[in-house]
Structure 1
Amino acid sequence: MKTTYARLRRTLGQLAYEKRYGVRTAELIELDQLGIAGEQRGYYVAASWRTLRRTLSRKEVTARDVFIDFGSGMGRMVLEAARFPFGKVIGVELSDELHEIAKDNVQRTRQRLHCRDIELVQTDVLEYEIPDDVSVVFFNNPFQGPVFTTVIERLVATLDRNPRELKIIYYNPVEEQTIMATGRATIARRLVHARRRTAGSPFGVTKVFVLR
């Protein structure tokens, strides 16, 4: 009963936020509806609005920090990140339809956001050049397998070019071993969400990795 009540309260809270700010992010869409279905891709569903607030402290973020959401969809985490004092927030999304919705969401809320430098990029992640100053990366299980491995390798390459601390916030971390296999990562935090149902499953979990 408590779990059901908490889930209902969370859902109503998210819908109230979307109504208040006039944004659209709370949908579940199969990728074949978007024309981007492929092996090791699942579906679009946004992470909880509270994910970043539960994994990042505002004190940890400065104007020197750059945030990237890979598979940014309708822009929910872009909007959440822009409420922090990041110097720049970037969303990278393959679907043109979701990208256009995200642009509209950012436009509707821009004046309320702390970070004003927001860049939305519509491209295949394998064609995206990751900036060497990115400091926080968000994944909501957007892709798996060789694509995920390649993105992690490219993130590590940025550390080689520009040594620094890099945080990866991974919602539903099904490719955790790929990150740990770099030999550069430690797990800084692990959160289990109320809606998680299966013990031992990565779904319903957020992990924060720190790479150096």
Structure 2
Amino acid sequence: MRGPYDLLRRTVSQLAYERRYGVRTAELIELDQLGIAAEGRGYYVPASWRILRRTLSRKEIGPTDVFVDFGSGMGRMVLEAARFPFGRVYGIELSEQLHEIAEANVRNTRQRLRCDDIRLVHGDALTFEIPDDVTVVFFNNPFQGTVFTSVIDRLVATLDRNPRQLKIIYYNPVEQQTVLDTGRAQLLRTLRHARRRVEGSPFGLTNVYQLT
């Protein structure tokens, strides 16, 4: 079992990474501090830097693949995705403050990234026009309820317009049943990303789904 030393070492490692590359992503912020608190919307806390490397292989990603992070915050997963050979990477963020920090993070690290087409969108996930060629979607529990259901329904609609395989990486999958209820999703794997978690709780887990 990992102890406090492991947590300290990982925290120091992440902060050292952020200092080295001149980025800022390691904060927890309540949405009322950002002025965007609303029913069905969560809080900002970044996912692990390693989660995409644990769920995606660079061999399976190519220039025709498109990545979308809903609730991209300060852009940590956008930066991670852009280290893969995606054709386009989108980050959708409702908070103007977090969006501006993400823009600065991308500027500071662009020369180290493989993807040249990074599109940070300051806007609402409910009004974002989801590309019909998106192949990987990331959620870090950014919203729940009708907001999440609407986004999932719109993702499925893109599959109806342009049949393909779509992978969903769902970090802290609070609304996992909504994904399965589409009848289009297959659970590929579940990863544990927390040392201690309450049995039966979605927190501390990452689910990977394939939608067709």
Q: TM-score range by the shorter chain?
A: over 0.9
Instruction: Provide the secondary structure at the position in 1 that maps to 2:202.
Output: coil
1:134 corresponds in structure 2 to: 134
TM-score between both structures, scaled by the size of structure 2: 0.98
Shift of 1:2: 2.5
1:172 aligns with 2:140: no
1:93 to 2:93 alignment: yes
Contact 1:196 1:203 in 2 (8 A): no
The aligned length equals: 212
Q: Please name the residue that 1:48 is paired with.
A: 48
d(CA) in 2 for partners of 1:146, 1:194: 27
Shift in Å, 1:200: 1.2
| 1:194–1:204 contact (8 Å) kept in structure 2 | yes
Q: After the TM superposition, which of the residue ranges 54-63 and 5-14 deviates more from structure 2?
A: 5-14
SS of 1:106's partner is helix
Letter aligned with residue 204 of structure 1: G
Aligned equivalent of 1:195: 195
Q: Residue 189 of structure 2: SS of its match in structure 1?
A: strand
3-state SS, counterpart of residue 11 of structure 1: helix
Specify the code of the residue in structure 2 equivalent to 1:168.
I
Q: Distance in 2 between matches of 1:78 and 1:10?
A: 21
Per-residue deviation, 1:8 = 1.6
**When the two structures are superposed, what TM-score results if normalisation uses the length of structure 1?**
0.98
Structure 2 gap ranges (5+) = none
Tell me the amino acid that sits aligned with residue 191 of structure 1: L
The 5 A counterparts of 1:4-23 are 4-23=4-23
Q: Does 1:111 align with 2:137?
A: no
CA contact (8 A) 2:42 2:144 kept: no
CA offset at residue 13 of structure 1? Answer: 1.2
Structure 1 equivalent of residue 162 of structure 2: 162
CA deviation after TM superposition for structure 1 residue 7, in Å:
1.6
Q: Which runs of 5+ in 1 are unaligned?
A: none
CA offset at residue 42 of structure 1? 2.1
